Amino acid sequence: MFHKSTFLMLSLFTLLLAACAAPAAPVTEPPAAADEASTPAAAEEMGKIQVATTVSPIANIVANIGGDLIEVTGIVPEGTNSHTFEPAPSDALTIVAADLIIVNGLDLEEPTINLAEANKRDGVEIIFLGNNTVSPEEYVFDFSFPIEAGSPNPHLWMNPLYALRYAELTKDALSELDPANAETYAANYAAFEERINALDVAIQETINTIPEENRRLLTYHDSFAYFAPRYGLTVIGAIQPSDFSEPSAREVADLITQLREEEIPAIFGSEVFPSPVLDQIAADAGSIFIDTLSDDDLPGDPGAPNHSYFGMMVDNVVTMTRALGGDPSVIEGFDTSNVN
Ligand SMILES: [Zn+2]
């Protein structure tokens, strides 16, 4: 819950900050085109454009498009449950400093968006990537994101083509804010697009090596709803209840029955959601349990060549392909470094 008193406190906090800390001057209005001589691009005048965003894959996509011209701050720490994350009052500092705020939306980061709306400077835009990538008819609702609860599965970025749309929306927003560098953002986007298209092909070729009867995903956390249909995989279930608690004893029993009946070779979890019951479920059902799929945690340390959206997706595909009886070597040499 995000209480009114918290808002009030944060608003006061903002006023204090504005009064004494004098954060970077706002870059809310792009300079008029006719005024070039006297008004150099806002970004050049004041240093890098400050972009506040949320989960690490999105922060990485944004960084690939902005390159050296922007400084990206991801408010949701890596390896955290982004679905239940509550920002700290100190995250208001990031919001106050932001020239642009970019979120997934689709109800993934409501507390952070509330914080942003209460604390952002006048004229600073909040870009909702997910809501501008698919129409409501394309939303996926399922066990973990039931339609009765009203919030669709928000994991659009796990489909590389949707991630490309996220990049395009970022390019458009940065170009509007900083038109003097629009060509650079366009070039960065073009490089990102080329790599995404290569990734899309490599994923399909890798998934194609999985025996057809094994092209089924049973995951703990429900993050492959938009990925699976793109590549001919079927999500036969996700285990995590909609409130992110552990499955009930009844659900566990049903799951073991389902696993036995469908002869699923592996079930997948993620390090962000360690679940002791899953090892037992897999053992009872004769499957293996692998807990390294990721939707909001980049592999490697910051600065490592695989610490990227591409690295995360390649790791996921290698993990699921190996466990389901395919040949992960098809994608193992893929260039996972950032394009910018
Ligand atoms: Zn997730």
What distance in angstroms lies between residue 273's CA and the mean position of ligand 1's atoms?
10
> Is the pLDDT at 40 greater than 60, yes or no?
no
Q: Higher pLDDT residue, 305 or 263?
A: 305
What distance in angstroms lies between residue 108's CA and the mean position of ligand 1's atoms?
8
pTM: 0.86
What distance in angstroms lies between residue 158's CA and the mean position of ligand 1's atoms?
10
What distance in angstroms lies between residue 38's CA and the mean position of ligand 1's atoms?
47
CATH architecture of 207-332: 3-Layer(aba) Sandwich (3.40)
The 3-state secondary structure of the chain, one letter per residue: CCCHHHHHHHHHHHHHHHHHCCCCCCCCCCCCHHHCCCCCCHHHHHCCEEEEECCHHHHHHHHHHHHHHEEEEECCCCCCCCCCCCCCCCHHHHHHHCCEEEECCCCCCHHHHHHHHHHCCCCCCEEECHHHCCCHHHCCCCCCCCHHHCCCCCCHHHCHHHHHHHHHHHHHHHHHHCHHHHHHHHHHHHHHHHHHHHHHHHHHHHHCCCCHHHCEEEECCCCCCCCHHHHCCEEEEECCCCCCCCCCHHHHHHHHHHHHHHCCCEEEEECCCCCHHHHHHHHHHCCEEEEEECCCCCCCCCCCCCCCHHHHHHHHHHHHHHHCCCCCHHHHCCCCCCCC
What distance in angstroms lies between residue 17's CA and the mean position of ligand 1's atoms?
33
What distance in angstroms lies between residue 18's CA and the mean position of ligand 1's atoms?
34
What distance in angstroms lies between residue 216's CA and the mean position of ligand 1's atoms?
19
What distance in angstroms lies between residue 12's CA and the mean position of ligand 1's atoms?
33
What distance in angstroms lies between residue 261's CA and the mean position of ligand 1's atoms?
28
pLDDT at 208: 98
What distance in angstroms lies between residue 80's CA and the mean position of ligand 1's atoms?
10
User: Do 4-18+45-196 and 207-332 show the same overall fold?
Assistant: yes
What distance in angstroms lies between residue 242's CA and the mean position of ligand 1's atoms?
12
pLDDT at 18: 42
pLDDT at 273: 83
What distance in angstroms lies between residue 294's CA and the mean position of ligand 1's atoms?
8
What distance in angstroms lies between residue 101's CA and the mean position of ligand 1's atoms?
20
What distance in angstroms lies between residue 87's CA and the mean position of ligand 1's atoms?
17
What distance in angstroms lies between residue 170's CA and the mean position of ligand 1's atoms?
21
What distance in angstroms lies between residue 155's CA and the mean position of ligand 1's atoms?
6
Residues by chain with Cβ below 5 Å of ion ligand 1: 223, 295
What distance in angstroms lies between residue 232's CA and the mean position of ligand 1's atoms?
21
What distance in angstroms lies between residue 116's CA and the mean position of ligand 1's atoms?
21
pLDDT in tens, 296-327: 999 999 999 999 999 999 999 999 999 999 99
> Is the pLDDT at 61 greater than 70, yes or no?
yes
> Is the pLDDT at 122 greater than 60, yes or no?
yes
What distance in angstroms lies between residue 240's CA and the mean position of ligand 1's atoms?
11
* Domain range summary for the chain, segments of one domain joined by +: 4-18+45-196, 207-332
What distance in angstroms lies between residue 270's CA and the mean position of ligand 1's atoms?
9
What distance in angstroms lies between residue 83's CA and the mean position of ligand 1's atoms?
6
Strands, sheet with 266-270, edge to edge from the N-terminal-most edge strand: 234-238, 216-219, 266-270, 288-293
What distance in angstroms lies between residue 43's CA and the mean position of ligand 1's atoms?
33
Mean pLDDT value across residues 271-294: 85
For the ranges 35-49, 54-68, 255-269, the lowest mean pLDDT is seen at 35-49
What distance in angstroms lies between residue 202's CA and the mean position of ligand 1's atoms?
23
Q: Higher pLDDT residue, 234 or 245?
A: 234
Q: 4-18+45-196, superfamily in CATH?
A: Nitrogenase molybdenum iron protein domain (3.40.50.1980)
pLDDT band at 46 (very low <50, low <70, confident <90, very high): low
Q: Strand 234-238 relative to strand 266-270: parallel, antiparallel, unpaired?
A: unpaired
What distance in angstroms lies between residue 25's CA and the mean position of ligand 1's atoms?
35
